[in-house]
Amino acid sequence: MNPNRKAAMTTEAGTGGGEGRPERRNALLAARLEALDERIAALEGQVAGDEPSLEVVLDEAMVVVGGLMAAYAEHAGKPLPVSDDLLEIFKAFVKGDPSLNAIRDNVRELVYYRNCLALDRRDALPRAPARMAVRTARHIYLYLRSRCEQEGRLA
């Protein structure tokens, strides 16, 4: 497994699933979201100038998205598989709550970019795919962050 992915998805000691006081769990979720936000901001800085390596940016964007899903799922007490397959993680992420499908197309977009690279089909990618990957990660962050706020998970 990619060490960055493992770091993004790793839980804080003692926070497993739904354990601990709600205030502490909420604070840990807020801290994880903040750390992932900083990683997205770093990616935004990378793509602000010249078009950087799509492979590097896409890998990091996918790690961040996996981390976002893991942070939300852990706080909600949902088990997720430990995997490099973002679609496998997403399938477990939405189980039991179909409203989480709101980010399905965004996750699939990142996987599409990865598949285009794997099949050497850069011609099938959109213009500025690294920037699009970062914007997609930002979109997922904003959706899950606002959802956490609306559900009182950050209070």
d(CA 69, CA 59): 16
Residue 62 pLDDT = 97
Determine phi and psi for 59, rounding to 5 degrees: -55, -50
Angle at 143 between CA 23 and CA 148, to 5 degrees: 15
Distances (CA, A) of 80 to 38, 41, 69, 88: 23, 26, 9, 9
pLDDT score at 8: 53
Assigned token pair, 144: 């899950």
Collect the ranges in the chain with pLDDT lower than 70: 1-20, 51
8 lies in a domain? no
Is 131 a domain residue?
A: yes
Expressed as residue numbers, the domain containing 130 is: 17-150
> Domain for residue 125, yes or no?
yes
pLDDT of residue 13: 34
Is 36 within the bounds of a domain?
A: yes
Q: What is the DSSP-derived secondary structure letter of residue 10?
A: P
CATH code, domain with 54: 1.20.120
Question: Would residue 3 count as lying in a domain?
Answer: no
Domain for residue 114, yes or no? yes
pLDDT of residue 19: 57
Determine, yes or no, domain membership for 64.
yes
- What is the predicted pLDDT for the residue at 10? 45
Give a yes or no: residue 46 inside a domain. yes
What is the number of structural domains in the chain? 1
Q: How high is the pLDDT of residue 50?
A: 75
Is 63 within 8 Å of 141 (Cβ atoms)? no
